[in-house]
Amino acid sequence: MKAAWKARLGNMRLALRRSLFGPQALAFLPAAALAAFWLGGEPLLLVTALGLPLLYFLSGGFPATAGAAIAAEGQKDLVGTAEAGAIASEAMEAAATARLSTACILIEIDGFEEIALRAGETTLETLRDLTLTRIRNTLRRDDRAVRISDNRFMALLSPSVRLDLEALLQLATRLQTALEEPASVDNSMRYLSASIGFCGSPRLKPGARGDDLIEAAQIALSEALSNGPSAIRAWSDSMRAAYTAQKSLQGEVDKALDNGQIQPWFQPQVCTSTGAITGVEALARWIHPERGIVPPAQFLRCLEESGKMDRLNEVVLQHSMTALRSWDQAGLDIPRVSVNFSEVELRDPRLTERIQWEMDRFGLTPHRLGIEVLETVIASSPEGIVARNIVELGKLGCHIDLDDFGTGHASIAALRRFKVHRLKIDRSFVSRIDRDEDQHRMLAAILGMADRLGLETLAEGVESVGEHALLSQLGCDHVQGFGIARPMPTDQMVTWAREYSLKIAEAQNLGRRSG
């Protein structure tokens, strides 16, 4: 009871302050000045004309952000799930009573875990406060904004007539722009980016509650996060179906890893001058009893979310070593298997030790294992455990491939420091090179740079004979893509490699005879 009165008193104080010191107070300045002159002559006129704006400024009401700063005063910064639900219910009820709409906007700072690893707790706290202040300053005075987890914020809009998709999208964009303004924190500039998901109350079924509104915004936010960084998504009915399917996959995927349903398929890589197989890339596939072959795009996110990426790496590595040994025994000449390592896997402090142990167990030397690291990972990890692991694996004898080259911003210094052997040129630079002049020029420039740096090159996503031929002419060392072969299971590789070797030998014989 006492608390309720305290809150009511607080609200009254706030309302009084707003009416006295809100921007409207300035509208009365000429009238106040006139009255002062009439009552006390020039001295009182001066005191009023200068004193009133000064008083307004000291009350914190002068900057452009004043309204929100005062509104924020009565709000709590961090709330739990139950409280967030209560705020949403309150907003829904207020909107329904007034026959108006409300909306829930959820905002998450991208890559906060990464920032958390590098910055101290004080910096994080400052960034959280700054984010909340920026959100509140962008919203209207009666909207609510709170933090609901480490790096997630929730805004609930006060009842309004115009909360259609376009208006909400504009507001979300304004919020994003405000949050992505560079900020100077603890003497260094921070460049944050934010992903946003939102849902307006008219989009929900009649009778929906606060929790339903938050859940819909949450679904939209997870969609934004998987398309991010810096993405905005509005909730839609079809999103819920996809989300439910994803959730049901999540339940199954952990078991699938343990019962052997997830395993790698292999895609050949060949030399452009001799045609020989120079390696294969291991690509994870889920052999699902009902859904058929599920590609990694559909289950990697589940594994990331349940923290199982290192388990996937173990499984893929073991299958790859087993496959390599079986191909050796079948008399095939496949020099190396390359395995994709995500940043999470590269953070394992015992990674090098584990890989050495696995290679010994299979009686294979480390140079038969290729480590594919995304260019973006190398570009963002100049120091620390990820960098140490890559360097150590290189020293062990593993072959380091820089994956999706051209999509990140790895420096030449990083290429040297990480002892990268080969650039895997991203498919976006490879497709249509035989038909697109700009694409052709760009690829020639990349190959020229790699040549000067003494790095081998592999072009990904080679689909046509024309692309393959031009890549050979331009001096790209290796090619991989549907034009050569699609990823295939271990045993199918034996048949494919034999047939392919026969074809290459025939082509060479033909070349010799005609030469």
The binding site for ligand C2E (CB under 6 A) comprises 267, 283-284, 295-297, 300, 312, 316, 340, 342, 403-404, 461-463, 481-482, 487
The listed partner (ligand C2E, Ca ion, none) that binds 296, CB under 5 to 8 Å by sort, is: ligand C2E
User: Residue 45 or residue 459: which is nearer to ligand C2E going by CB?
Assistant: 459
User: Residue 72 or residue 462: which is nearer to ligand C2E going by CB?
Assistant: 462
By CB under 5 A, residue 477 contacts Ca ion:
no
Q: What is the largest CA-CA distance in the chain?
A: 115
Whose CA is closest to 249, among 298, 180, 313?
Answer: 298
User: Residue 40 or residue 295: which is nearer to Ca ion going by CB?
Assistant: 295
The listed partner (Ca ion, ligand C2E, none) that binds 283, CB under 5 to 8 Å by sort, is: ligand C2E
Q: How far is the CB of 221 from ligand C2E (least distance, A)?
A: 23
How far is the C-alpha of 469 from the C-alpha of 466, rounded, in Å? Answer: 5
E strand or H helix at 268: strand 262-271
In the chain, count H helices and then E strands. 20, 16
Q: How far is the CB of 487 from Ca ion (least distance, A)?
A: 11
* Binding mask of the shown chain, residues 412 to 451, with x at each position contacting Ca ion by CB under 5 A: ----------------------------------------
By CB under 5 A, residue 320 contacts Ca ion:
no
Q: How far is the CB of 405 from Ca ion (least distance, A)?
A: 8
The listed partner (Ca ion, ligand C2E, none) that binds 284, CB under 5 to 8 Å by sort, is: ligand C2E
User: Residue 200 or residue 481: which is nearer to ligand C2E going by CB?
Assistant: 481
Q: With CB under 5 A, what is the number of residues at the site for Ca ion?
A: 5
Q: How far is the CB of 425 from Ca ion (least distance, A)?
A: 9
The listed partner (ligand C2E, Ca ion, none) that binds 275, CB under 5 to 8 Å by sort, is: none
Q: How far is the CB of 372 from Ca ion (least distance, A)?
A: 4
Q: Which stretch binds Ca ion (CB under 5 A): 391-399, 429-437, 457-465, 502-510?
A: 457-465
CB-CB contact of 136 with 203 (8 Å): no
Whose CA is closest to 47, among 37, 57, 38?
Answer: 37
335 to 374, contacts with Ca ion by CB under 5 A? 340, 372
User: Residue 84 or residue 410: which is nearer to Ca ion going by CB?
Assistant: 410
> What are phi and psi for residue 399, nearest 5 degrees?
-95, 125
Q: Which residue is nearest to ligand C2E (CB)?
A: 481
Q: How far is the CB of 409 from ligand C2E (least distance, A)?
A: 18
Q: Which of 404, 420, 468, 481 binds Ca ion (CB under 5 A)?
A: 404
Q: Which of 143, 310, 403, 467 binds Ca ion (CB under 5 A)?
A: 403
- DSSP state for residue 352 in the 8-state scheme: H
Using CA atoms, how far residue 357 sits from 114, 302, 322, in Å, is 30, 28, 14
Using CA atoms, how far residue 52 sits from 19, 20, 57, 67, 97, in Å, is 14, 11, 9, 18, 39
Q: How far is CA 501 from the centre of its chain?
A: 42
User: Residue 141 or residue 421: which is nearer to Ca ion going by CB?
Assistant: 421
Query: Within 10 A of 356 (CB to CB), how many other CB atoms are there?
Result: 16
Q: How far is the CB of 465 from ligand C2E (least distance, A)?
A: 12
Burial class (CB in 10 A: 0-12, 13-18, 19+), 357: exposed
Whose CA is closest to 217, among 110, 114, 104, 367?
Answer: 104
**Side chain identity at 53, as an amino acid letter?**
P
Using CA atoms, how far residue 168 sits from 162, 174, 248, in Å, is 9, 10, 30
The listed partner (Ca ion, ligand C2E, none) that binds 189, CB under 5 to 8 Å by sort, is: none
Sequence-distant (6+) residues with CB within 8 A of 229 are 110, 111, 193, 195
Contact footprint for Ca ion (CB under 5 A): 340, 372, 403-404, 460
